[in-house]
Amino acid sequence: MLSLKAFVDHLSTFTNVSVSRVNSAHNAGDFCNSTVPALVESGCFVLEVLDLQLGMMAVLPHLIGYPTYPLLLWLMWIYIGQLDPCQAHFNQCLGQTCALVECAFGT
């Protein structure tokens, strides 16, 4: 079985695609062993996207990940557990975004 990981920017352009064999910890392992974390940390993952400036704080671009991924400042996950209406809406929007990428591969 194969695992396909794809990253899409805000313009729906694929920025990184990888295929690997599935193992027991495939999501977290594939992510951590990919070039993506180093590219994001160095600021080279999405070059044309500027940081959002909120007052004195720069908000970096974020990626959507799985709860098995490591906890990183620039990685968004779905909310789990008992959800309030705002969290449920966030999860719905995040899920729709993921579905768009999955549809590109026919999954």
Domain ranges, residue 13? 2-75
pLDDT at 50: 64
Q: Is residue 87 part of a domain?
A: no
97 Cβ contact partners less than 8 Å away, ≥ 6 residues apart: 64
The count of domains in the chain is 1
Under DSSP, is residue 74 helix (H, G, I), strand (E, B) or coil?
Answer: coil
Residues of the chain under the 50 pLDDT cut: none
pLDDT at 49: 63
Buried/exposed 77-97: b ≥16 CB within 10 Å, e otherwise? ebeeeeeeeeeeeeeeeeeee
Q: How far apart are CA 40 and CA 45, in angstroms?
A: 5
Q: Is residue 53 part of a domain?
A: yes
Q: Is residue 101 part of a domain?
A: no
Q: Is residue 43 part of a domain?
A: yes
pLDDT at 107: 60
